[in-house]
Every structure is written in C-alpha cells, then in structure tokens.
Structure 1
Amino acid sequence: MLIYLVDDDQEDQEIFDMALYDSGVKARLLCFSDADSVLNQIKTSSDKPDYIFLDLNMPKINGLECLQMFVNDSITALSKVIIYSTSSNEKDIKETMALGAHNYLVKPVNFKVLVESIRNLLKAN
C-alpha cells in the first residue's frame, strides 16, 4: 500500500509517520509539503497512491483547491482522498465530501487516537 501525505507542517508529517507505523498497517508513506509537489509526483510516477491524506490549511494552494485539482485530473478515481485537517468546521467537512473526498479526519490531539483513526480508516477502505 502506498500513502501520500500532503501537509506543510513538518512536525505533523513526522507524527503521522509514527502513527502509521504504530497502527500496524503495512504501507509506504511519501510526504509532500505542498500541492504542486504532490501533483507533480502523481503526474510523473507510474506508482499511484492508494490513499492521499490532504491537509486543508496550506499556503499558496490550499487543500480545498488541491482536492479540486485531484477531481479535475480524475485522481480521486485512482486514489482515496482523506482530508486530514485541524478544522472540524461542518462547512469544511460537507464541502470537501461533496467535492469528492472519501473521508474526513480531524487531526486528533491524542497520539493513540490518531493511531486508531489511521488503523480504522485504512482497514475499513
């Protein structure tokens, strides 16, 4: 299984990586700090991700705009996009799900909750 994480926060990338490892899910994780780099990777690599975890709050191109690009390029047909954000705003959740996100995970403040959330999301899909 191949997972992409798109998040401009280096610490959040490291925490996600540790939580993925602790979840016991066998997967390779590639992290990207912005939408441009993940879009370039998707367009140039023959190895497509099974899941893309996408932060909403990023500079330049935010997660919502990036999700729209994924939809326009039919990336959501190949990979399951899971929004991974600090926002628990109902508007954000509804908007991203209506746009084509497969799920929405609010970044938990508790590491064990993150581990369980990742395990449940990846085993359920």
Structure 2
Amino acid sequence: MEKVILLADDDIDDTEMFCEALQDIDQSIKCYCSVNGNEMMEQLYSLERVPELIFLDLNMPLLSGLDCLRVLKEQQKYQQIPVIMISTSSHKNDMDAAAALGAICYFVKPNNFKDLKNILRSITANLDEKLKEVIINLHSGGSKHIFYLE
C-alpha cells in the first residue's frame, strides 16, 4: 500500500535531496512537496486520505512551520498525524516551541545524503505505533540529527 508523506520546505535543494532519499528507500512512498505552509495545507486538504507523516521546515515564508503545526493541531481530522519539524539549527527554544505545539520530533537536516537516508529509512519503516519508539532510539542512540520531543 502506498505511504503518503507531506514535506513543506522552502529550500529546493533540501527538498530534492529529501525526495530522492525517500524514493531510494521505498518506492511505495508518495511524497508531496510544497515550498511553504500555505501550499502544504492546500495539498493536505486536496488529498483523499490523511497522510502517514508530515515534515515541516521551521522557517518558511507565508506560513512558518510552527504556524502550520498550530493550524494542523487545531483541526480534529489532522491532530493525530505525526509531525516532524525540520531545520538547519538545533536551538532549544525552537525545539520547545515545536514540542508545545505537538510535534513528535525535531530533525536537524544532515548535510550528508547517506545520513539522511539512514534516518528516513528508520522513520518510514515504522509509520505506525512504533514511530515514537524509533525516534526515541535514534535520539538516545547518539544521532546528532534527531531530537525526541516529550
């Protein structure tokens, strides 16, 4: 069965690398990409079914990742979708804000394609009740890219 993932990131290079990594990992993943939160919300509303996972870049024009997360968590239909915030920085204030709004994880973008693939492989192989456990294991296992948000 096809797995649906949404990605909102205004950095085109990061988006291309992300989507390429997902395709290398699992051909059944359909990744819908958008360049800002407004576009991502429009894609979400047009989908026939709720996605398994959403990745939101923290800093985007028009509707930031945090603002988009706030909108998602206010709508009952989308409250249960796991959301992973992505960013190039690991500022504690940003992580705290993401956690307060309901993100399950904070993902600092790796520069290395292999690292990105390994992390995405672990996450996308567990798009079920094991997702939280996998993120905790990545975080406690020393990954400098994954921060579990409690």
Give the TM-score normalised by structure 1: 0.90
23-32 vs 111-120, greater mean Cα deviation: 23-32
In structure 2, what is the equivalent of residue 89 of structure 1?
91
Question: How far apart, CA to CA, are the structure 1 residues paired with 2:123 and 2:93?
Answer: 21
Q: Does 1:41 align with 2:43?
A: yes
Runs of 4+ in structure 1 off by over 3 angstroms are none
- CA–CA distance in 1 between the matches of 2:28 and 2:107? 20
Aligned length: 124
> Residue type of the partner of 1:98?
A
Q: CA deviation at 1:25?
A: 6.6
Aligned to 1:66: 68
Between Structure 1 and Structure 2, whose CA radius of gyration is higher?
2
Determine the C-alpha separation between the residues in 1 that align with 2:27 and 2:101.
27
Q: Sequence identity, in percent?
A: 37
Q: Cα distance, 1:120 vs. partner?
A: 1.5
Structure 2 vs 1, CA of residues 105 and 39 (structure 1 numbering), >3 Å: closer, same or farther? Answer: same
When normalised by structure 2's length, the TM-score is 0.76
Could you tell me how far apart the structure 2 residues matched to 1:7 and 1:44 are? 19
Gap regions ≥5 residues in structure 1: none
Q: Of the two structures, which has the highest relative contact order with CA contacts closer than 8 Å and spacing of 6 or more?
A: 1
RMSD: 1.5
Q: In structure 2, do the counterparts of structure 1 residues 24 and 40 end up closer, same or farther at CA, with 3 Å as the change threshold?
A: closer
User: SS in structure 2 opposite 1:105?
Assistant: strand
Q: Name the CA distance, whole Å, in 2 between partners of 1:116 and 1:23.
A: 9
Summarize the alignment of residues 74-85 of structure 1 with structure 2, pairs less than 5 Å apart: 74=76, 75-77=78-80, 79-85=81-87
Corresponding residue of 1:118: 120
